[in-house]
Structure 1
């Protein structure tokens, strides 16, 4: 049996009052792989752990 473990790193840049999310970055895999960028408008949640519907669909 082979067991694979993968880690997703979440990084969130928030405003000082935590009302605006400027960046939600999720990275996984090797460091030298290509990066995909998705720009969204008005995300519903500002945290790095919980997801809004658009983030889940992406």
Structure 2
């Protein structure tokens, strides 16, 4: 998986949507992202969040 770039705190909605789309496998030069790609990206983002929260909890228990 490609490592995403760190986003600025005041990112625009378009930049956030593009980041989610890239997680879903969207190729930038193929035009705007569709709903399926955005859905896959959102699922990937939720999975990454869950992994982070589990890892943080395990580190606190150590």
Instruction: Report the TM-score, using the length of structure 2 for normalisation.
Output: 0.21
Which structure shows the bigger proportion of residues in helix conformation? 2
